[in-house]
Chains A and B, each alone.
Chain A
Amino acid sequence: MTAAYLEAIILGIVQGLTEFLPVSSSGHLEIAQYLLGEQQSIQSGLIMTITLHAATALSTLVVFRKEIGTIFRGLMQTPWQESHLFARNIALSMLPAVGVGLFYEDAIDQLFEGKIVLVSAMLIVTAVLLFLADRAPRGNRGIGMREAILIGLAQMVAILPGISRSGATISTAVMLRIDRETAAQFSFLMVIPLIFGKMAKDLLDGSSTAVGVDIIPLALGFVAAFLTGYIACAWMIRMVQRSKLGYFAWYCLLVGGGMLLFTTTD
């Protein structure tokens, strides 16, 4: 097995885990680049990024196959019912992140340029959010328009490197006293249209090329990300239900705090 194949499998596993577990994939990528001192060793090109995101998005679809199927069947029926309200809430929750992504793309890109202190501080913020969610009393509320917008704002803030998207959205939902299982489902479902939309944009605007791309590493990365993502997604739902987010909070606190100490004493 060549190094390229091994790298693709590792990238797939990392993407599969960090897409669902609340530890911030972008934050870890920035830290790895800072520690390794090489940009190219971690970034493996746009086409690999698209492939890995496609794998985790498809694994989410498989995990929530029945739920999404029910929603789509409900959307075909009249009059308005629960499925329509759920779809409306998903659309509302996407608006803040879509707005920031479209109008502040350059400003966001600047945040991903070796700002290691910012990343470390945001990892600590993620840890605090997870601690709060872990200790929040259990609720049984559903998701309405107000909750959808607030969770969407949390997703927008999670564009910052170091803030975990799943961590921020699930924590916000849990603190709004939303049922924990519903919170986890909504968090993973709300990002699917965004991922597929971004993938379609990247593919169709001509910015992605496959010059020098070997299909085997892409396939290996896809399979690794899909399988890991499938397991991590199902695992994360159980962790949220059982209030076990504290482990991830400690992890984020250790990594964020450790990096802050490392950079200030360096």
Chain B
Amino acid sequence: MSKPKVKFTRPAAPPQGKTVPAVPFKQKPSPGAIKARTQAPPAEMLFTRNHFIWMGVGILLIALGLVLMSGGNMPSPEVWDEHLIYSPIRLVVAPLLIVAGLVVEIFAIFRK
């Protein structure tokens, strides 16, 4: 990789009879300084890999809850089975899993 070119200019001469504040000539920056300038420190990420793993666990729990909550259709219009609609898995387990998933998401956000 070639070194970045740095253009150096001499400031224009001050008009006669006027004083201007002293401006030092630009010094040629050292190679180390150029490297430090081009390799700025990376921006701090809001979340780390660990956070995303916990978020993934939360999403999985919520998705599992939704899958368990789905269904409940009767196989045909002539059939009426209460257990299909009011099953404990759909009414108790699935909502609890979704709430647990949300709790895990909140934990993931606040985890250090």
Interface positions of A (Cβ within 8 A of B): 47, 54, 58, 61-62, 65, 68-69, 72, 196, 199-200, 203-204, 206, 208-213, 215, 218
B72 near A196 with CB under 8 A, answer: no
**Which of B90, B105, B110 lies at the interface centre, i.e. has the most chain A CB atoms within 10 A of its CB?**
B110
Contact A206 B91 (CB under 8 A): yes
Q: A210-B71, A213-B69, A215-B63 are in contact. List 13 more A-B contacts (CB 8 A).
A: A62-B46, A65-B110, A203-B95, A204-B96, A208-B95, A209-B72, A210-B69, A210-B70, A211-B70, A211-B72, A213-B66, A213-B70, A218-B66
Shortest CB distance A202–B (Å): 9
Among B70-112, those with CB < 8 Å from A are: 70-73, 90-91, 94-96, 98-99, 102, 105-106, 109-110
Number of interface residues of B (CB under 8 A): 21
- B: residues with CB less than 8 A from A are 46, 63, 66-67, 69-73, 90-91, 94-96, 98-99, 102, 105-106, 109-110
Give Cα A39–Cα B102 distance, bound, in whole angstroms: 29
Q: Which residue of A lies closest to B106 (CB)?
A: A61
A210, B94: Cα distance in complex, Å: 10
Q: Is B96 in contact with A210, judged by CB distance below 8 angstroms?
A: no
The answer to whether A204 touches B99, judged by C-beta atoms less than 8 angstroms apart, is yes
- Asked if B110 and A69 make an inter-chain contact with CB atoms under 8 angstroms apart, the answer reads yes
Query: How far in angstroms is the closest Cβ of chain B from A221?
Result: 13
A68→B69 contact, CB < 8 A = no
**Nearest-neighbor residue (CB-CB) of B96 within chain A:** A204
Q: Which of A54, A209, A212 contacts B102 (CB 8 A)?
A: A54
A218 to B109, CA, bound (A): 21
Contact A211 B102 (CB under 8 A): no
Contact residue among A65, A200, A218 (Cβ-Cβ distance under 8 Å from B99): A200
Contact between B105 and A58, CB atoms less than 8 A apart: yes
**Contact residues in A for B63 (Cβ distance below 8 Å):** 215
Of residues B63, B73, B109, which shows the largest number of chain A Cβ atoms within 10 Å of its Cβ? B109
From residue A169, how far is it (CB to closest CB) to chain B in Å?
23
The answer to whether A204 and B95 touch (CB under 8 A), given A199-B102, A210-B69, A211-B71, is yes
Q: Which residue of chain B has its CB nearest to the CB of A218? A: B66
A51 to B70, CA, bound (A): 15
Cβ of B67: which chain A residues have Cβ within 8 Å of it?
Answer: 215
Expressed in whole angstroms, the minimum distance between the Cβ of B82 and any Cβ of chain A is 14
| Cα separation A58 to B101 with both chains bound (whole Å) | 12
Chain A residues with CB below 8 A from B105, complex form: 58
